[in-house]
Copies of this chain bind each other. A is one copy, B any other.
Amino acid sequence: MDIAHAPTARDRVRAELVEEIKAIGRRHLAQHGAPALSLRAIAREAGMVSSAVYRYFPSRNELITALIIDAYDSIGTAVEQADAKRRRPDVNGRWLAICRAVRGWALANPNEWALLFGSPVPGYAAPIDTVDPAARAPLVLLRLVADGVAAGEIIEDRTATMSRAVRSDFAALRASMRPSAPDSVLARALAAWAQLFGSVSFELFGHLHNVITDYDGYFEMQMRAAGAVLAGRG
């Protein structure tokens, strides 16, 4: 499996087929959702017999893992790029850009959103390989708040009462970022993150039905407000 030589023709064809199988898988995901993802159906569409897929993925779960990693990388890239397009000191603009990137990605890839942030797939447990890709988008937010604190755009408030355990959780989180941010800001960042993902899931999973009609306007308004709270100027 580990290729020490220059890639041969066979290697290249193999890499292409891995990508094609994933692409078909993604399409099936988009149409029928993760629980209905079928190796046989994918094989049929790829023009091979079902057992041939096992040359590329040792099991259905490994294919799902590959799709999950790709999806995390996809939303991670979208968020990183949206963030990078803004001037670094424009903290509020970056926050809004991140929000729009998350929602835009979700609307474009609803079933992948459900795969990542909806119900766990029955009989599937995510392996460690997914951890790093999963961290990309949240890391953008952490960098943003660190920048905001350094620039004085995000202010610390009188720290809310928190348990010693939560303080040490936050300390561990802070250790993974430079520059860093105080507990009260980390708490607000995670709160904003929960609100962002909660809002998108509400919209996507139909819980705003019969309540909101102007989804764009509603989201925009809510994320502006969330940005103000995040900044400590709520």
Q: Which residues of A contact B (CB under 8 A)?
A: 32-36, 114-115, 117-120, 122-123, 126, 131, 134, 160-163, 165-166, 168-169, 173, 187-188, 190-191, 193-199, 201-202, 205-207, 210-214, 217-218, 221-222, 224-226, 229, 234
Sample of 14 more A-B contacts, CB < 8 Å, known A119-B119, A194-B202, A197-B202:
A33-B120, A35-B36, A115-B119, A117-B205, A118-B118, A161-B221, A163-B217, A163-B218, A165-B217, A166-B214, A169-B211, A187-B225, A188-B225, A201-B201
| One of B194, B211, B217 near A199 (C-beta < 8 A) | B194
Contact indicator B212/A166 (Cβ below 8 Å): yes
Query: In the bound complex, how far is the Cα of B199 from the Cα of A10, in angstroms?
Result: 47
Task: Name A's interface SS.
Answer: helix
A-B pairs, top 4 by smallest CB distance, nearest first, are A198-B198, A118-B119, A165-B214, A163-B217
CB distance from A194 to the nearest CB of B (A): 4
> How far is B166's CA from A50's CA once the two chains are assembled, in angstroms?
50
B162 lies within 8 A of A221 (CB): yes
